[in-house]
């Protein structure tokens, strides 16, 4: 009986295994059939359109738009790159391209202009300035061109030259420059220095290929200059190459530590990333600064150092991008960057804030509510949560400025004022000392009024919607006075708002001015003088007992 029972179990197990395998094969075959069926349908639709549609079709444009729209329904990070756009993908991965090294923008309904030449790169060395309006490149009139058209003319093979004609604001004549393109690589370290109490500070801008080598070099230089603790500023760093994040964590933790793991549909690609080398300094106190602009690889560094109780995180909750992309080659020189997996910090948590596979009826994607997040624990036993970025150990509330400040930037009002201001001021004080005078701010207010500046369209739209709802539901008669009072409060008042939000607007003007003289490095130096998160980081590093207590469970 025992033998018979044993043979029956074996037969049942074999039958179940066969059934599961058959089910898997059937599902796989059905999926292949569905893919091939839809490809045939798409091909047929395209052929029919090409043959019979009333107007001639731009086939390449139509198909590429279709691909982009299809991918947009997945997540923002799965992207298609045509052969012409392959340089954009290379720049994302390496931070390197062939060009002149300048950011360009476009006036509303107007011409393209230089918004920022990078320090020491061809455009800067040739003498181009922020505000220069681009008229021609190599004899081609670009007065009506878009930013993408101008960008394609500026980029090219390193070593080749271009001739650019510009109109500089405040000058009647035109200027012509000959510029030699270079291999442009944006340096990942924006600014680094040893500050008071032997605190080393570095702002790290991007995780591009080999950027960890620059971080390592900078850390060693800071230590050689006497740094006994570090502030690593990852605010605004949107991420990049995952391996670079692992390398940076390795600078501070022993060999063999888990930094991050990735898991996706293709199980063979699942991987656990561990530190491979001996650290630079396993004990130096570290503060990592994050904000809502810290994403992806920045969150890997912050999350790993937090989970391993190796650093105190200060600032605002990070963006919440816990997805990993992999580039794949396509026919005819095209590429696709596909989200292939999610990553998990050493404690096992995911930082992904949005679930793109479950959308709302209107197509939007909501953040995971805090009530549905899960608790994980750091090495010391501190509680950390998943589902929405890295939550700092010390949160510094992010101050909100009035919408007028946003519109002043978006409409280039501040930019144009600064362009005029710079022409009258050949030099300014050092970045950490420069302040805009009250007289200059009054001049700015007059400049704004001269532009017929309009703003706060969101409040006006909301008020109109509220009026319609109140009228529809019959409340306007009984609440008309209250509505009028609200309307008076929310209606844009230029004089009032320029004074009410003076501090925010003045800081924006000062940053734009400092950038013209001292580039992005100077902007950072200037902003640190009033940076509350930075001040808190310095305070914590000065108090060694406080620093240690933050890393222990409550």
Q: CATH number for the domain including 151?
A: 2.30.42.10
Percentage, residues of the chain above pLDDT 70: 93
Is residue 331 in some structural domain?
no
Which residue segment(s) compose the domain that 446 sits in?
Answer: 403-456+492-536
Q: Is the pLDDT of residue 499 over 70?
A: yes
Write down the pLDDT at residue 457: 66
Is residue 256 in some structural domain?
yes
Based on the domain organization, do 149 and 230 belong to the same domain? no
Is residue 301 in some structural domain?
yes
Helix (H) or strand (E) holding 98: strand 96-99
Residue 296 annotated to the active site: yes
Is residue 81 in some structural domain?
no
Is residue 21 in some structural domain?
no
- 300: domain CATH number is 3.90.226.10
Percentage, residues of the chain above pLDDT 90: 64
**What does the alpha-carbon distance between residue 505 and residue 267 come to, in Å, rounded to a whole number?**
51
Based on the domain organization, do 200 and 109 belong to the same domain? no
Please tell me which residue in 321, 350, 456, 531 is annotated as part of the active site. Answer: 321
Closest CA to 322 of 302, 305, 304, 345: 345
Write down the pLDDT at residue 468: 87
Is 463 in contact with 487 (CB distance < 8 Å)?
yes
3-state SS assignment for residue 162: strand
Q: Is the pLDDT of residue 297 over 90?
A: yes
Q: How confident is the model at residue 230 (pLDDT cuts 50, 70, 90)?
A: very high
Based on the domain organization, do 350 and 435 belong to the same domain? no
Phi, psi of 343, rounded to the nearest 5 degrees:
-110, 155
Write down the pLDDT at residue 490: 72
Q: How confident is the model at residue 243 (pLDDT cuts 50, 70, 90)?
A: very high
Is 152 in contact with 140 (CB distance < 8 Å)?
no
Write down the pLDDT at residue 461: 77
**What does the alpha-carbon distance between residue 471 and residue 490 come to, in Å, rounded to a whole number?**
19
Q: How confident is the model at residue 485 (pLDDT cuts 50, 70, 90)?
A: confident
Based on the domain organization, do 176 and 241 belong to the same domain? no
Is residue 302 in some structural domain?
yes
Based on the domain organization, do 259 and 374 belong to the same domain? yes
Based on the domain organization, do 218 and 345 belong to the same domain? yes
Residue 477 annotated to the active site: no
Please tell me which residue in 296, 298, 318, 511 is annotated as part of the active site. Answer: 296
131 or 492, greater pLDDT: 131
Tokens of 505: 């607007």
**What does the alpha-carbon distance between residue 275 and residue 251 come to, in Å, rounded to a whole number?**
9
Based on the domain organization, do 209 and 316 belong to the same domain? yes
**What does the alpha-carbon distance between residue 430 and residue 439 come to, in Å, rounded to a whole number?**
20
Write down the pLDDT at residue 277: 96
Please tell me which residue in 307, 393, 456, 531 is annotated as part of the active site. Answer: 307
Based on the domain organization, do 201 and 306 belong to the same domain? yes
Q: Is the dihedral of CA 289, 291, 293, 294 positive or negative?
A: positive
Is residue 254 in some structural domain?
yes
**DSSP annotation of 354:** B
Residue 321 annotated to the active site: yes
Compute the mean pLDDT over every residue in the chain, rounded to the nearest whole number: 90
* pTM reported for the whole predicted model: 0.85
Exposure letters 225-254 (e unless 16+ CB within 10 A, then b): eebebbbbbbbbbbbbbbebbbbbbbbbbe
Domain boundary among 125, 158, 184: 184
Q: What is the pLDDT of residues 264-289, one digit of tens each?
A: 988 888 999 999 999 999 999 999 99
Report how many domains make up the chain: 3
Q: How confident is the model at residue 8 (pLDDT cuts 50, 70, 90)?
A: very low
Based on the domain organization, do 285 and 391 belong to the same domain? yes
Q: Is the pLDDT of residue 48 over 80?
A: yes
**Helix, strand and coil in the chain, % to nearest 5:** 45, 20, 35
Is residue 259 in some structural domain?
yes
């Amino acid at each position: 009986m025992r033998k018979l029972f044993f043979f029956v179990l074996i037969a049942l197990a074999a039958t179940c295994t066969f059934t599961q395998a058959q089910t898997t094969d059937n599902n796989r075959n059905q999926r292949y059939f569905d893919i091939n069926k839809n490809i045939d349908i798409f091909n047929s639709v395209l052929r029919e359109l090409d043959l019979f549609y009333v107007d001639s079709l731009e086939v390449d444009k139509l198909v590429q738009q279709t691909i982009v729209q299809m991918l947009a329904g997945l997540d923002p990070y799965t992207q298609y790159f045509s052969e012409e756009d392959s340089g954009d993908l290379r720049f994302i991965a390496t931070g390197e391209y062939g060009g002149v090294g300048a950011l360009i923008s476009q006036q509303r309904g107007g011409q393209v202009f230089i918004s920022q030449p990078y320090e020491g790169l061809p455009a800067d060395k040739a003498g181009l300035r922020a505000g220069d309006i681009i008229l021609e490149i190599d004899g081609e009139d670009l007065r009506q061109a878009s930013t993408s058209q101008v960008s394609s003319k500026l980029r090219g093979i390193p070593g080749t030259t271009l001739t650019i004609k510009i109109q500089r604001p405040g000058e009647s004549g035109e200027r012509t420059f000959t510029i030699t393109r270079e291999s442009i690589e944006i340096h990942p370290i924006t600014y680094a220095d040893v500050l008071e109490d032997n605190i080393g500070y570095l702002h790290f801008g991007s995780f591009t290929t080999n950027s960890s080598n620059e971080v390592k070099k900078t850390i060693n230089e800071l230590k050689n200059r006497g740094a006994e603790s570090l502030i690593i500023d990852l605010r605004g760093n949107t991420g990049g190459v995952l391996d670079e994040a692992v390398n940076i964590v390795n600078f501070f933790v022993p060999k063999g530590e888990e930094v991050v793991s990735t898991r996706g549909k293709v199980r063979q690609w699942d991987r656990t990333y561990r530190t491979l080398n001996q650290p630079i300094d396993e004990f130096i106190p570290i503060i990592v600064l994050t904000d809502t602009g810290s994403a992806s690889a920045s969150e890997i560094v912050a999350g790993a150092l937090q989970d391993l109780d190796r650093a105190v995180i200060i600032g605002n909750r990070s963006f919440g991008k816990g997805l990993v992309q992999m580039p794949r080659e396509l026919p005819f020189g095209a590429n696709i960057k596909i989200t292939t997996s999610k990553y998990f910090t050493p404690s096992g948590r995911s930082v992904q804030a949005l679930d793109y596979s479950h959308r709302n009826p209107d197509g939007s994607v909501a953040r995971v509510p805090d009530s549905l997040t899960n608790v994980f624990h750091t090495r010391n036993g501190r509680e950390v949560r998943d589902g929405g970025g890295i939550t700092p150990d010390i949160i510094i509330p992010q101050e909100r400025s009035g919408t007028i400040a946003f519109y002043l930037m978006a409409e280039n009002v501040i930019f144009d004022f600064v362009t005029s201001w710079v022409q009258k001021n050949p030099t300014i004080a050092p970045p950490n000392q420069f302040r805009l005078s009250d007289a200059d701010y009054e001049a700015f207010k007059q400049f704004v009024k001269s532009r017929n500046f309009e703003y706060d369209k969101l409040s006006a739209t909301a008020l109109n919607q509220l009026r319609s709802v109140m009228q529809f539901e019959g409340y306007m008669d009984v609440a008309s006075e209250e509505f009028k009072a609200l309307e008076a409060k929310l209606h844009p008042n230029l004089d009032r708002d320029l004074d009410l939000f003076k501090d925010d607007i003045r800081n924006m003007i000062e940053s734009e001015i400092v950038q013209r003289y001292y580039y992005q490095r100077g902007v950072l130096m200037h902003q640190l003088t009033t940076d509350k998160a930075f001040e808190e980081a310095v305070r914590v590093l000065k108090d060694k007992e406080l620093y240690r207590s933050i890393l222990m469970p409550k």
